Amino acid sequence: MPAVRVPSVTVAHLPDDVHLVDVREVDEWAAGHAPGAQHLPMSQLAGRLTEVPRDREVVVVCRSGHRSAHVVAYLRHLGWHNVHNLDGGMQEWAAASRPMVAEGGGPPQVL
């Protein structure tokens, strides 16, 4: 089966009002994530589909953009037309000096 291209957006072109869904696992999220992002681990996605908005633009993020691309392809297959992948994931987010927070108050980092 050929690779499916998923719509994506770069950190530099990320709209301010977009709904960001972080699909990384709990330890990755706790180490550092975008303020205001929704945490929805990829491993829990199938059972929590109703939590993914259909009425606004959604950008899905992981560490590098690989897992989130799979999630976007899956959601599009299921009928979500408002989802995009964040190119480069949280690594690019951090490289662009975008704000990050960590659980527990320590310095945020991308795992």
Catalytic positions? 62
How far is it, in rounded angstroms, from Cα 68 to Cα 81? Answer: 15
How far is it, in rounded angstroms, from Cα 71 to Cα 38? Answer: 14
User: Which 3 state secondary structure label does DSSP give 45?
Assistant: helix
Q: Give, for 38, the enclosing helix (H) or strand (E).
A: strand 38-39
Question: Could you say which DSSP state residue 2 is in?
Answer: P
